Amino acid sequence: MSRMDAATARAMVDRTLYQGETVRAFGAARDMNALTPTLVDSSPNFWVAVTESRFIQVGEASGKATSHRLAEPQVLELRKKLFVGGWLRFDPAGLGPELGLALLKVDRSLMRALDVALADRAQAKPLPKESTTYSVEVVKNPAYVASFVGEESHVLVCDTCGGYCGEVVDGEAQPQPDCTACLRQVMNPA
């Protein structure tokens, strides 16, 4: 798989933004924790962004964005290394190194931007109340999954940002409460 470039990743982040929300830090990161379960992403490469309200990851392998409200993750902290940048420790549910801790290696310039952007994360701005609808998209399943669930799946994608909103099971749409990429409330289409 070819590497995702910065412009593509930034465009994905920008599609998730709310009116007036700005990106305060953006750059490439590599997960150095080999124990972190990858699930959807089979690549340790990510793009990360921080706004006034959210921490956003774009997976290179999946090509999808995932957001977390800035104050929610149990662990979202910087560990600085002299001269080379450092690590962004990220564990949204506080599950620890074997089950969920990502050690995202970042360069010095991103480290400085993250240091400023995360300084007041406990007082992060709440997201405005916005909603979105979804569309059904057909996704070809990878070979290792196809034997369990079939050749293709039907997923629900956000009409605002293209993020994951749920799936179709036995012909019935089962939306999640919020889009995983932009965190807008998912409503049934009219």
Please write the tens of the pLDDT for every residue from 102-143: 888 999 899 999 999 999 888 899 999 999 999 999 988 766
**Same domain flag for 153 and 100:** no
| Cα dihedral value 136, 65, 54, 157, nearest 10 | 0
Reference 182, options 29, 11, 15; nearest CA is: 15
Share of the chain above pLDDT 70, in %: 84
**Same domain flag for 10 and 26:** yes
Give me the CATH number covering residue 57.
2.30.29.30
Reference 54, options 189, 149, 145, 180; nearest CA is: 180
What's the structural domain count of the chain?
2
For 92, phi then psi, to 5°, come to: -60, -30
**Same domain flag for 51 and 111:** yes
Split at pLDDT 50, 70, 90, the class of 40 is very low
Please say whether the beta carbons of 17 and 23 come within 8 A.
yes
Q: What is the pLDDT of residues 88-110, one digit of tens each?
A: 988 887 776 666 678 889 998 99
